[in-house]
Amino acid sequence: MIRWMRKIAPYDRKVWIPFIAFIVVFFLLEIAKWVILLAFSMDDTASEIKEFQTFLLGIFAVLCGVFRACFHPASNREYYTWLSKTPWRLGKPLPLGPAHLVLQDLVVLALIEGLWAYTSVLPLAVPMLLFFLSYSIVLSFVIEFTGDEGCALCFFFGLGCVVYALPSLLAALGVAVVIYALMQVALRRNLAKFPWDNKLDWDKLEVLANRKTAQRTAPSISWPFDALMPTVKKADNPFLVSIVVGWWAFQLEWFEIIGNDFTPATEIELFRNIMLVAFGALAILFTGLRLYRYLPGHRAPINIFGRIATGRIIIPGYDKVFVAPICALLTMYFLPPCLEMLSISFFGAQSIALGVAVFITQKMGPTREEWDLTGDYRMVPPMLTSNEAIYKRI
């Protein structure tokens, strides 16, 4: 049995620490609970300990899902480097254990479910839901890291479906299982491409994790030559990004549905007004992000006084960069009332408008390359830093 379970055992001894710590803390709490019950008859304190044990089990289910997703070769630099120099191909077992779930995982999940049934009054579907979602979210980001674009965005769309189905926990679990099945298809297609054609950008991850190290090690040819240096960055799918943002914004309707049974109409109206401000703030956020990608290091050829003095109030070659943000904000303002006239709900109209506004900020021209090459602007040193590792061109 022990040898059979070694298939999913941690290959690094450091990984054992949180698992052993959980087991020790859980059973110490169990002993403390029975001592409090038998010796002091403090039922309230024992109930609080039981609730904390339930919380620990939820955290443990999440950790198990994250741990299993990390069996993917791209989650470990040394493992990937070594495996890429071997003749391993899809169909052969991975040396450090399978990246997909196996029967041994059912044993661990059954143990969690047994402890959950013993300590918690919540449905047994909760730990399974946490396990499948944590496994899927980490695996989606790992697959995205290898170059399969859109995997993480597709997962977040599916996660929104889970939230939408949450009034029925079994339905939410069913959606999570479907997401897991789709992730297995994506995993198999991803491993079939091993070793991946694109070079995994481990240095970028190190930059995000430690900026001081990046400043010391990243190459820089100083301004203005680094600003003129060609850069290549694949943008996210704008259509998929807008769909995911709009779908997640629509999930806010769930809170209104819950509040309809307990909240007066005046408070529901107040909630809608708050949500209206929130949707507007989200639209402003995405337009601000668009301008942040375009404006640093690019200033107008003349200031506002120069425009007035020369009569050139609008400079098409420069002001074109503001067209997409303005269109996005106008869409967010005028589209929802039009959709509500078509009997679409408040949250549905706001979500659709937000999705369209996000699509405009992501897709509408000029592209960053066109702006860099043909924009009518003055080049200035970026305000944040001249280091290439931190001043990222998008």
119 near 47, Cβ under 8 Å? no
Residue of 167 and 174 predicted with greater confidence: 174
Q: With beta carbons less than 8 A apart as the criterion, state whether 226 and 386 touch.
A: yes
According to the model, what pLDDT value does residue 336 have? 93
CA dist 76 and 18 (Å) reads 19
Q: How confident is the model at residue 389 (pLDDT cuts 50, 70, 90)?
A: very low
* Rounded Cα distance, 35 and 360, in Å: 62
Paired strand residues for 379 = 298
Name the average pLDDT for the chain. Answer: 82
User: In this predicted structure, what is the pLDDT of residue 315?
Assistant: 92
- Map tokens 């601000």 to a residue: 288
Question: How do the residues of the chain divide into helix, strand and coil, expressed in percent and rounded to 5?
Answer: 70, 0, 30
Residue 164 pLDDT grade (very low, low, confident, very high; cuts 50, 70, 90): confident
Q: How many CB atoms lie within 10 A of CB 103?
A: 10
Burial class (CB in 10 A: 0-12, 13-18, 19+), 283: buried
Lowest mean pLDDT among 107-111, 241-245, 323-327, 379-383: 379-383
Q: Is the pTM value of this prediction over 0.85?
A: no
Lowest mean pLDDT among 25-34, 38-47, 359-368, 382-391: 382-391
Contact in structure between 354 and 279 (CB atoms under 8 Å): yes
Q: What is the pLDDT of residue 267?
A: 67
End-to-end CA distance of the chain: 52
- Count Cβ atoms below 10 Å from residue 33 Cβ, excluding itself: 20
**Torsion-angle region of 10 (φ positive above 0: left; ψ -120 to 50: alpha; else: beta):** beta
Q: How does pLDDT run across 175-201, given as a tens digit for each residue? A: 999 999 999 999 999 999 888 865 565
What number is the average pLDDT over the span 207-231?
55
Helices 265-294/323-340 angle, 10° precision = 160
Query: What CA–CA distance (Å, rounded) separates 79 from 232?
Result: 28
Spatial CB neighbours of 136, under 8 Å, sequence gap ≥ 6: 65, 69, 155, 158, 176, 179, 180, 183
Assess contact for 26 and 120: CB atoms under 8 A: no
Query: pLDDT band at residue 214, thresholds of 50, 70 and 90?
Result: very low
DSSP, collapsed to helix, strand or coil, labels residue 231 as coil
pLDDT confidence tier of residue 119, bands split at 50, 70 and 90: confident
User: What is the arithmetic mean of pLDDT over 126-141?
Assistant: 92
11-32: average pLDDT? 84
Q: Supply the pLDDT for residue 198.
A: 56
Q: What is the pLDDT averaged over residues 315-327?
A: 93
> DSSP readout, 307-348?
HHHHT----HHHHGGGHHHHHHHHHHHHHHHHHHTTT--HHH
pLDDT over 50 at 154, yes or no: yes
* The total number of residues written for the chain in this structure: 394
Give pLDDT, residue 283: 92
pLDDT over 70 (residue 393):
no
Q: In one letter, which amino acid is 1?
A: M
Does the pLDDT at position 36 exceed 80? Answer: yes
Q: How far apart are CA 360 and CA 352, in angstroms?
A: 12
Domain ranges of the chain: 2-192, 223-379
Residue type at position 136: S
Percent of the chain topping pLDDT 90: 32
- Orientation of helix 151-164 relative to helix 125-145, angle to 10°: 160
High-pLDDT (> 70) share of the chain, %: 83
Report how far residue 151's alpha carbon sits from residue 189's, in angstroms, rounded to the nearest whole number: 12
Band (pLDDT 50/70/90 cuts) for residue 374 is: confident
